[in-house]
Structure 1
Amino acid sequence: MNVDLQKKPAGAGCGAGAGPRVAELEAKLEKAHGRLMGMRDQLAAAEKARKDARAALGDAKKRLAAKKRDDDAALSAPPVEHDGGKVPAPEDGAAGGAEGANGEKGHMSSPAADAFEAVVPGESGNNEGPVVEEGNKTSDEEEAVSNAVADDDGKKGSPEVELLRAKLMAKDMEGYELRAKLMVIDTEVDDLKRMVTAKGTELEKLKARLMLNNELVDKLTADLMVKDAEIAALEADNADLSKMAEEAAEAARATSARAREAEHALREGAAREARLAERLRASEHAREALEAEAQRSRVQREQWRKAAEEAAAVLGGRAAGASSSSMDKRRHGPVSAGGGESEGTADKDGDEEGPSGKRKAGGAMRALSDLWKKKAQK
């Protein structure tokens, strides 16, 4: 009896506990299969030994039957004289006995051969049924052989037959034990088959779940690749933005520097403007002072002009008096010295006689003296 075992390879990536469990069950099944094959070999050897024992028993029975027939024929048939001697006559009986022995031998050997043939096809068939059928056939054959021996002998045979019968019974018992063990092993093999089938179903479920997980992993991998591409794009944008930010910061620093320079320039301009404003105010003050001075100068010039006109008028009058006095001096001679004093006195008196003219002349002289003093101070 062979065990049809189809090993299902555990798929890569299946559950961590299912793979070792299935491998363990397969190892147990292989071990049970080896034990079963060993038991079958032992059973075949026992069957062969039993067949040999049955053949030996048949031979012994034939010998006993032939001997018995020969004895019976020798006792029952009278001696026949032939060529001056006595020869036993029952040749037909001996031949019949031989034929009967051969027939019995064929009858005895054919069930054992049938039983042995029933064992051999059972090894290539299914695991169930042939063992029971084989046991039934063997039991029937043993009963037939025992009945035949009992019928032929009618009583216990010779010690050789009893020994062969004892050996046959021992072989039968050994065969019974081997068949019982074989049935137990068949039961274990069936249990292991059921367990392997259950584990195979569980393995298929795990494979289906693994396929679903693989699909999910593939989907997540695709999503991860998309996210990686997005991250790469964002990193590129970030690099561009960082570069732009650096450029903007550089521009801001340059702008700040220019702003500081402009502020400094503005401060300097404000300072220059303040200085210019101060100078402008000073120049305004100076201009106002110059305008006031010019106004005073115009007033003074006007006063000088009037004073000059008055002085010219006064000097013109003096010149006329001087010319008349010179004519008098030339006319009077040495009296001119005393006359000069008197003239000077007269002129002084004449000047004193005109009080308004004296005041004007004095004012003009004072104005001229003040003007000369201011020019000298400047």
Structure 2
Amino acid sequence: MREQLAAAEKARKDARAALVEAKKRLAAKKKGDLADHGGGKEPASSAPEASERDYAEKSYVAVAPRESAVMNKTSDGEETSNVVDDDFGDKKPSPEVETLRAKLTAKDMEVYELRARLMVIDTEVDDLRGKLVAKDTEVDELKAALMSSNELVDKLAATLLVKDAEIAALEADNADLTKTAEEAAEATAARARETEHALRESAEREARLAERLRASDHSRDALEAEAQRLRVQSEQWRKAAEEAAAVLGSGGGAVDNGVGAYVDKRRRRSGSACAGGNGGKAAKDGDDDDDEGASGKRKAGGGAMRVLSDLWKKKAQK
């Protein structure tokens, strides 16, 4: 658009120069015609030519300053020139001048239109420049925000790396703890199996001990019954011995001693039976000793025992 405007300005200047040149040629021609007709006097028949010459001279004189003013205004870009000369009344210029003036007017109108379009374009350019400045400002803000976002992303990436390292450490610790827990579980299971086995053995021992205890209780009951029977029997023997001693009188001292020894021996046997197997064995050994030590007494008191037996039978019959 600016190139078109510059071309139009140049064409207008060329048209103005051509108009001025045409006016100069016309004025020179008029002057030459006047010189040919007798030293400056005009004949009557040449009145129109004189009028045309005067018009051309006046037009040249009037148009030259106006031409320079219009060119100055055109260079400033404010207005176009006025191509109509109002100082000559009803006189008409030559066709060549009219043609040049028409071309000049057309060029001025073209320049005016181009300048108007250029002003519109300049306004649009200014708007676009404002928008571009706003966009540049927005781009700068976006760049700053992007830099902040990049910094935040870098921080988050660093934090993520730290978290990954922590997670890896925790996973390693978890693996160690899992292995330790598995080992502890295996050890606990082994101890539980051992404890269960020990409990089963203890239960079996307890069952055996309970069985032995029941057998012992049964044996003790039997021994207690036997001891009670022997106590009753020994009491009966004691009473029989006392009665025999009373019957025999003074001659029955040996019998009394024999009977007392026999009763004491029976009591020891009864006590040994109540005390258990070892006590029974000791009582048996003691009885053997008593039998060996008292063999003479038994022989001596054999008659007394027979007498006591007879008394016992008689009491039983009563």
* Match 2:13 to one of 44, 48, 51: 51
Name the aligned partner's letter for residue 119 of structure 2.
M
Correspondence for 2:205: 269
- Among the aligned pairs, what percent are the same residue? 50
Give, in angstroms, the shift of residue 197 of structure 1.
1.2
Name the aligned partner's letter for residue 262 of structure 1.
A
* Match 2:27 to one of 65, 76, 95: 65
Describe the SS at the equivalent of 1:156. coil
Could you say if the C-alpha distance between residues 222 and 271 of structure 1 is closer, same or farther in structure 2, counting changes exceeding 3 Å?
A: same
* Cα offsets for 1:118-151 (capped at 9, x unmatched): 6xxxxxxxxxxxxxx3x13x64xx35xx48x778
Aligned pair 1:251/2:187, yes or no? Answer: yes
Instruction: Please tell me whether the aligned partners of residues 5 and 114 of structure 2 are also in contact (alpha carbons under 8 angstroms).
Output: yes
Could you say if the C-alpha distance between residues 161 and 152 of structure 1 is closer, same or farther in structure 2, counting changes exceeding 3 Å?
A: same
Name the aligned partner's letter for residue 264 of structure 1.
R
Instruction: Please tell me whether the aligned partners of residues 307 and 361 of structure 1 are also in contact (alpha carbons under 8 angstroms).
Output: no
Q: Give, in whole Å, the separation in 2 of the partners of 1:225 and 1:63.
A: 95
* Match 1:308 to one of 291, 299, 302: 299
Aligned pair 1:179/2:141, yes or no? Answer: no
Name the aligned partner's letter for residue 18 of structure 2.
A
Could you say if the C-alpha distance between residues 61 and 153 of structure 1 is closer, same or farther in structure 2, counting changes exceeding 3 Å?
A: farther
Aligned pair 1:199/2:135, yes or no? Answer: yes
Could you say if the C-alpha distance between residues 172 and 268 of structure 1 is closer, same or farther in structure 2, counting changes exceeding 3 Å?
A: same
Give, in angstroms, the shift of residue 206 of structure 1.
2.6
Give, in angstroms, the shift of residue 196 of structure 1.
1.4
Give, in angstroms, the shift of residue 176 of structure 1.
0.7
Instruction: Please tell me whether the aligned partners of residues 54 and 108 of structure 1 are also in contact (alpha carbons under 8 angstroms).
Output: yes
How many pairs align?
234
Q: Give, in whole Å, the separation in 2 of the partners of 1:55 and 1:227.
A: 87
Give, in angstroms, the shift of residue 303 of structure 1.
7.3
Name the aligned partner's letter for residue 93 of structure 2.
G
Give, in angstroms, the shift of residue 53 of structure 1.
2.2
Alignment of structure 1 residues 231-250 onto 2, 5 Å: 231-250=167-186
Name the aligned partner's letter for residue 153 of structure 2.
V
Q: TM-score, normalised by structure 2?
A: 0.58
Alignment of structure 1 residues 214-363 onto 2, 5 Å: 214-274=150-210, 285-287=276-278, 290=281, 305-309=296-300, 357=303, 360=305
Describe the SS at the equivalent of 1:157. coil
Could you say if the C-alpha distance between residues 51 and 249 of structure 1 is closer, same or farther in structure 2, counting changes exceeding 3 Å?
A: same
Higher relative contact order (CA 8 A, sep 6+): 1
Give, in angstroms, the shift of residue 219 of structure 1.
2.2
Give, in angstroms, the shift of residue 163 of structure 1.
2.0
* Match 2:105 to one of 146, 154, 169: 169
Say what the alpha-carbon RMSD is for the aligned residues.
Answer: 4.2
Correspondence for 2:223: none
Aligned pair 1:75/2:37, yes or no? Answer: yes
* Cα offsets for 1:217-242 (capped at 9, x unmatched): 32232222222222222222112111
Q: Give, in whole Å, the separation in 2 of the partners of 1:285 and 1:360.
A: 30
Question: Is there any run of 5+ residues in structure 1 with no aligned partner, and where?
Answer: 1-38, 80-100, 119-132, 312-356, 365-378
Instruction: Please tell me whether the aligned partners of residues 34 and 40 of structure 2 are also in contact (alpha carbons under 8 angstroms).
Output: no
Give, in angstroms, the shift of residue 56 of structure 1.
2.9
Give, in angstroms, the shift of residue 108 of structure 1.
6.4
Q: Give, in whole Å, the separation in 2 of the partners of 1:110 and 1:235.
A: 95
* Cα offsets for 1:156-199 (capped at 9, x unmatched): 31122212211211111111111011111111111211121122
Describe the SS at the equivalent of 1:71. helix
Correspondence for 2:238: none
Name the aligned partner's letter for residue 203 of structure 2.
R
